[in-house]
Structure 1
């Protein structure tokens, strides 16, 4: 890789101010990763993480090793392909996840169908780890990403299930193609007519399909999670990560940890008109993984002999999103589709 490239000046991304609206927020646990430095601290965090993931399935991660300045620098970089690249150049890098089942390249707005004939207003770039050296030449992203210690969270999850610490680490080869996605997303405001037709829902309630998702907290309130009390907003915490688990971890743990149902909706009144910039890290199990951990009292979503591999599940979910003719589910407000013999629910 050339060493003489000069990193260009990055325009400063100025986010919206946090909302002052009185919203019903989810009471999410805060996991302090600084405690993971000792065996005693990891044992304590494992209990906290188990409680968080079995209660809401979402939690905050703090003291993860990144400063507020590094966080702000990343959002400056994330906004470059959204705001600083001409439309014709963006489209030169357009991917086609409907055909390939791979989240790679640029996804233009209007690509997915949301509801009632309304299509999405979301742009995103997704980067596979093998291509990060190219990004590094432009924005020095790779060294920053490599410092993200997902293994600490995977070890805590294993401990929370009373398994050897490296159980989940062994199932994630982060250098393999398709195992990790760093996704840059930007939601754009919609027309009032579109908001009415979709009942203010920008992305229907769903579960992620990987193992762990990390979302950098940002101030525009739009993310909601489904709780026993109904939909609750997720509050912004400065320089925190949000962690949730997806389908593949639910499959692997036999339902002990369930994929978290979440959605994106129109922001509150004082934040309408702003774009919403997101930085998300999606982690996946190795492509050939499909066994269920043998634990007493867990339930299988399907029999082992027909269980899809991680690759088959990832490709099926990516290809189908925003294209399927969803059917009414058994319960009110739920739509469904069947992929690889498994029912996938969407909550509207």
Structure 2
């Protein structure tokens, strides 16, 4: 049989890792290859449980994608930015405020960051099915089968094992969370290609070098494919911001609001932000590839109090509101998406800023 050919795309050359002496977050590392059997998951579950209970962030290695495949995905991820005209991008901009949905392009300067400074970030968002529910730039069309395969790998080979481990960590049936994240169900889990562009010095001063304020993700699990431009920081348990270090062909995975609510606060939606890269990476664009997992739209975000872990003496079940008032995943996604970077925030002490969405307080950390 003839060899299968793949469409040619320009090679994306990433920046070299920083050599600056920085304060790094000490995050656990999960070897996902050991999660392929029930016995392996039983062994790995306490590690995942403790990591997401304490940090809300982990590295994942041995996830089934080779370094060469990883490089190819980053080549593809750059196409919507470097191979698409500005006119075509504008034609494919998503109606974020109207729909409460990231689909298509978000162009630069849509979000307000601080002191009149607006973002310099572009991203292109795709529903996980990679189907005809949206339009794609022409340059991306030949690449859609590869993107669909990438989404399926993220969903079935990475997300589902993580969710199984976290369900085990709460002593729930292994597929409790998996059953809330069905690939073909109504829901808005999506893939995102995202590029941060360098900013002028005046904007850096006005925003105190912050590119995205401290925040939590609103979904359940975020999968970030590690890239070398150092800008992501997490708020550590001791209250200090620390950088997330790049690891070749590793994933950086974190918990979002939805899983925190479902777990009654047992798993933490970790606060993170993006800042100007270190000096030896100034002026470099930062290309990111993400898989943002959300539960099925109809899931109501209330604590799973059947968990034996949550029923133990001394364990506090944390709620953001009464169970009867808890939003569905669809309602929470719409509220957070429509408001982000568009609303006037109320300033509190300690650099915290707040807004109220559907009766729930959302905090940003500046």
Which position in structure 2 is the counterpart of 1:239? Answer: 249
Asked if the contact 1:215–1:281 (Cα under 8 Å) also holds between the matched residues in 2, the reply is yes
Paired residues, what number?
Answer: 343
Is 1:142 aligned to 2:148, yes or no? yes
For the 8 Å contact 1:226–1:262, the answer to whether it is kept is: yes
Alignment of 1:65-214 (within 5 A): 65-132=64-131, 138-139=142-143, 140-148=146-154, 149=157, 150-214=159-223
**Per-residue deviation, residues 154-184 of structure 1 (Å, max 9, x unmatched):** 1011001111101001111222343311011
The residue number in structure 2 matching 1:292 is: 303
Determine the C-alpha separation between the residues in 2 that align with 1:318 and 1:302.
20
The whole-number CA distance in structure 2 between the counterparts of 1:269 and 1:132 is: 41
Q: How far apart are 1:198 and its partner, in Å?
A: 0.3
2:195 and 2:285 in contact (8 A); partners too? yes
Is this contact kept in 2: 1:30–1:60, CA < 8 A? yes
The answer for unaligned runs of 5 or more in structure 1 is 1-5
Between 218-227 and 99-108, report the one with greater CA deviation. 99-108
Q: Which residue of 1 aligns with 2:269?
A: 259
Task: Check the 8 A contact 2:210/2:274 in 1, yes or no.
Answer: yes
User: Once the two structures are superposed, what CA deviation does each residue of 1:18-69 show, in whole Å capped at 9, x if it has no partner?
Assistant: 0000000000000001111233321121110111112211100100000000
Q: Deviations over 1:224-255 (max 9, x none)?
A: 00013300000000000111010011111111
Of 260-269 and 39-48, deviating more is 39-48
- Say whether the 8 Å CA contact 2:108–2:121 is kept in structure 1: yes
Structure 2 unmatched ranges of 5 or more: none
- 3-state SS of 1:244 partner: strand
- 2:293 aligned with 1:283: yes
Q: How does 1:4-19 map to 2 (within 5 A)?
A: 8-19=7-18
In the TM superposition, residue 104 of structure 1 has moved relative to its aligned partner by 0.2
* Distance in 1 (alpha carbons) for counterparts of 2:6 and 2:67: 21
For 1:315 and 1:30, locate their aligned partners in 2 and report how far apart those are by CA, in whole Å. Answer: 33
1:328, distance to aligned residue in structure 2 (A): 1.3
- 3-state SS of paired residue (1:248): helix
With normalisation by structure 2, the TM-score equals 0.91
Matched residue, 2:332: 313
Q: Cα 1:167–1:248, aligned 2, differ >3 Å: closer, same or farther?
A: same
Conserved 8 A contact 2:24-2:242: yes
2:236 counterpart of 1:216: no
Is contact 2:55–2:268 with CA below 8 Å preserved after alignment?
no
2:259 corresponds to which residue? 249
1:106 & 1:222 partners in 2: Cα distance?
A: 22
Q: Which position in structure 2 is the counterpart of 1:343?
A: 361
Measured on the aligned residues, the alpha-carbon RMSD in Å equals 1.6
User: Offset at 1:142?
Assistant: 1.2
Query: What TM-score, normalized to structure 1?
Result: 0.95
Distance 1:243 1:132 in 2: 26
